Structure 1
Amino acid sequence: MASSPMASSSPSQEPPPRESPESPTPPVAPVAPNLAFRQARGRRSPGEFAAAVRRAAREIGERVSCDARYIGRVEAGEIRCPNYAYERVFLHMFPGRTLADLGFAPRSAVRGRAARTTPPPEPEPSHRPLASQEFPQHHGTQGSQAPLESLKSHQTTPSHEFDPSPEVVEIEQYERHEESDVRRRAFMTGGTATVATASLTPFAAAPAAAQAGEAEASAVEEAVRRIRLLDDRHGADGLYRRAAAPLRTAFALLDAGTSRQATADRLQAGAGELAISVGWLAHDSGRFDDARSHYAEALATARMSGDAALEAHAFCNTAFLARDAGRPREAVRAAQAAQRAARQLGSPRLLSLLALREAGGWAGLGDRSGCDRSLVRAQSLFDSGPSDADPEWMTFYGEAELEGLEAQCWSALGDWPRAARHARRAAALQDRHFTRNIALYTAELADDLARAGRPDEAAAAGTQVIGLLDEVQSSRIQSMLATTARVLLPHRRANGVAAFLDRHGALPRGV
């Protein structure tokens, strides 16, 4: 990069003869402290506020290394505009405020060029292309005993939080541990999802046998079904850490071995499906790195056992995760790999879902024609109807999910009215059993309506979602609802908007 004229000239040099006194070199503006940001920090110390920033980042799936020094630099005016990751976190922490409200300068003024209208996703550290990724060691190496006791938090000295109440102090004790992000929200909100985690205990409580048999293979398969059932009803938050225990036990059973090949095949398939289920709980609760690891674990299991159905499922979820994590090209590649694995399985409905995963990647790339081709293929395959070859895990995939995923595609392409039409159909078609999906589709509808300029309808849909949050705990849904609230802020006078914003603002932090 070429250095500036001011940096390259010495103090003794005369100004260049062509420079006119009417156009002097603009002086460097002195750094002004960011008083608005200092006011937003309130009575918290820089260290306490930095901890709050890190927690808020985890709530929306971001990862920032915020410390007291960073907060000090912002308040001193040294950081005039945060990067995109911090921007998303600050807007999440202070709904309704803009970067300007927080004392930051426009990005274009800081970088000397026009700001991007749509911030690109921040690159995630240490991610490599899927083809070259090293698969992690499976959880069976951590021992065969199901570690329910390991889920209990140890007492630590709590730090201060937004509200120094006893409940928040106890939450802070959770937050000193890696498991805190999901369990904190479940602890704060209570409700049925917290109770639902107890349903996983029977699968985690029994130690692994010396050698696995039919009973152990059946237990692994039942654990997969139970996790999926609980997720359908309550969402991922509060379930993730409990579900990790039976996963460790399943891989310990694989390590123990079995005397029959048929049982070994069932265990391989069951452990792989369990890894995908636990990965989905991590995915839906915003733990993208954990989800990526679990999906890679399932893919490794599929490759080692030559299980095309498990491989297609692992690639399917990997594509979905890549789309959500802002890696749309990887989403396209993973969806295409899933389709190659699934062609031999004879399930048009599975190929339909995988075409939708590919469509989501194309939409993320802004490729409308590629997205449209994949959507047409998905609809045609779906119309072929169900078959005996459809995998058991695809019970969620019906007409409602088809409409919901298409809504997400049009939303990514910025066609809000079309997205809203599909989201409305998805919510109306969804079986009442799938409470989480009803909340998801309705949250999608609220956001699409808000962006389509229909704030009153958006507020009504958002209010419906709030009514479901006692039953459903999903970081994805919570984040969508918070975004809708920000979009609706300028429309507070529209019918129903103020009431929705007040109800949303009254929700416990993290909901």
Structure 2
Amino acid sequence: MGENSDLADALSEAGLTQVELAEAVNDHLRAHGHEGTVSDRTVRNWLTGKTRWPHPRQREALEAVFGRSAGELGFRPPAGRRSPTRTEDPVHRRNFLTAATGTTAAVVPLLATRPYAVGTTDVIRLRRGLDALTALDASKGGHEALERAALAGAADALELQKRAASQRIRQRIFSVAAEYTTAAAWSAVDARRCARAQGHLNRALYLAGMAQDSIAELDVWNLHAMAAGQQQEHARAVSAAQAAQATAIARRDPLFASLAHARTAIGHSNAGDRQGALRSLGLAEEALSKASPDVPRPLWMAFYGPAELLAITAIVRTSLGDAPEAEAASHRALAAIPQRFRRNRALATAQLAIAQLHQRDVDQACATADRVFSLMDGNDLPGRLRSRLGDFCRDLITLSPNVGVAREWNDRYRSEWSQAR
């Protein structure tokens, strides 16, 4: 007998406690006409390995909750007994709403109307769709189809909360709705559509308050700071970032605090406050050094860590006129940003090109900027990335108006840039 690490991992990924898993399994059992008798003690027996092969109905409920087979959840039948043949993979039993553009699809769960009260299982299904959108954004960046899919997910969640089995479930559904709405806002921010983003953010902040979810609140204030920066309202950007610092999750978890301080540093640097920017960067680095990698966090936060802080450092140093430091930070960021964060790597590459250009290394800067298009592999360029390349083009013309390679770069990519829009 040994601990069931597969089930423990699944529990952590879903963000569930043992009591909540018991409730989710019971929800499923009751929805199918069976008595819900699973307790947190039952779950402990599964986790410790004391129960290695749950009752068939419990196994079916666990598979439905996690979207994985019993074997994938670490359960094994007694010796000499075969696991029953599956006729349908649990993943395939989910219904999805697909919003497609070109060959790319964003998926959110479409939950059919059910005659029973909505419980933890439904919350988990909603979160699976949110995770799919987060993964799509990491690869492609913000776009209208992703925004529409996120809003559809939020609407689905708000419809379900009307039939929540308890106030606690209702708050969790409001939390998911806030996250979907924030995902829509993020897509608009990434596309640099600030007016649309502002409406989504106001709605998301209301939903986060209804959920009493400080993580969702921090996410909203973080995006408020970004949107304000895009509108050149730097004092408002700093205030929004400081509001993120004041959330309960920033006080409890140094990783979230680090992100809030880093966003504050960008606001200060854009406002020309060198001392404030460097102080906030130092606080971000200090908080990050205290953050534990083992704490369960939402998938959207996976982008932030040492690599992203280095990328933000490059942005701050560029704004402050510290081109050598910006170039060094960009190189270190690109060495550390995971390959799956393609859009983030492209942004860091464009920032590196700007830092090289500001040191009058024109040939190298143009070669670096070329790599942005290769990294995005022909996909539409999100608005933030187009804007950063626009900064590069303007600086290139200003700093090297008579250099042949500068003219060639602008001529070659003017048409490709317009096609990528």
Mapping of residues 192-341 of structure 1, within 5 Å? 194-197=102-105, 199-200=106-107, 203=109, 205-207=110-112, 209=114, 211-238=117-144, 239-254=146-161, 256-341=162-247
Aligned CA distance change for structure 1 residues 208 and 311 (closer, same or farther; 3 Å) = farther
Q: Which amino acid aligns with 1:500?
A: W
Q: Give the TM-score, by structure 1 length.
A: 0.58
Report the 3-state secondary structure (helix = DSSP H, G, I; strand = E; otherwise coil) of the residue aligned with 2:339.
Answer: coil
Match of 1:96 in 2: none
Shift in Å, 1:434: 0.7
Q: Which amino acid aligns with 1:484?
A: F
Counterpart of 2:383 (choices 459, 475, 499) is 475
Structure with greater helix percent? 2
Q: Measure the CA separation in 2 of the matches of 1:495 and 1:257.
A: 66
Q: Say if 2:330 and 2:348, in contact at 8 Å, map to a contact too.
A: yes
2:414 is the alignment partner of 1:505: yes
Q: Give the TM-score, by structure 2 length.
A: 0.69
Mapping of residues 146-225 of structure 1, within 5 Å? 194-197=102-105, 199-200=106-107, 203=109, 205-207=110-112, 209=114, 211-225=117-131
Is the radius of gyration larger for structure 1 or structure 2?
Answer: 1
Shift in Å, 1:374: 0.6
- Greater RCO, 1 or 2 (C-alpha within 8 Å, sep 6+): 1
Q: Which amino acid aligns with 1:501?
A: N
Q: Measure the CA separation in 1 of the matches of 2:394 and 2:277.
A: 28
Q: Measure the CA separation in 1 of the matches of 2:112 and 2:266.
A: 41
Q: Measure the CA separation in 1 of the matches of 2:310 and 2:250.
A: 26
Percent identity over paired residues? 28
Please give the per-residue CA displacement for 1:191-223, whole angstroms capped at 9, x wherever unaligned.
xxx3222x42x52x5455565333431222112
Report the 3-state secondary structure (helix = DSSP H, G, I; strand = E; otherwise coil) of the residue aligned with 1:483.
Answer: helix
Match of 2:305 in 1: 398
Match of 1:463 in 2: 370
Match of 1:348 in 2: 254
Match of 1:365 in 2: 271
Q: Which runs of 5+ in 2 are unaligned?
A: 1-95
Q: Say if 2:171 and 2:212, in contact at 8 Å, map to a contact too.
A: no
Count of aligned positions: 320
Shift in Å, 1:343: 5.5
Match of 2:25 in 1: none
Q: Measure the CA separation in 1 of the matches of 2:193 and 2:404.
A: 36
Q: Measure the CA separation in 1 of the matches of 2:291 and 2:210.
A: 32
Q: Measure the CA separation in 2 of the matches of 1:434 and 1:218.
A: 25
Match of 2:21 in 1: none
Shift in Å, 1:344: 6.6
Q: Measure the CA separation in 1 of the matches of 2:366 and 2:294.
A: 42
Shift in Å, 1:350: 1.0
Shift in Å, 1:492: 6.8
Q: Which amino acid aligns with 1:214?
A: T
Report the 3-state secondary structure (helix = DSSP H, G, I; strand = E; otherwise coil) of the residue aligned with 1:506.
Answer: helix
Report the 3-state secondary structure (helix = DSSP H, G, I; strand = E; otherwise coil) of the residue aligned with 2:371.
Answer: helix
Q: Which amino acid aligns with 1:291?
A: A
Q: Measure the CA separation in 2 of the matches of 1:443 and 1:246.
A: 33
Q: Measure the CA separation in 2 of the matches of 1:234 and 1:243.
A: 15
Report the 3-state secondary structure (helix = DSSP H, G, I; strand = E; otherwise coil) of the residue aligned with 2:104.
Answer: helix
Counterpart of 2:287 (choices 377, 381, 392) is 381
Q: Measure the CA separation in 2 of the matches of 1:464 and 1:344.
A: 36
Please give the per-residue CA displacement for 1:39-61, whole angstroms capped at 9, x wherever unaligned.
xxxxxxxxxxxxxxxxxxxxxxx
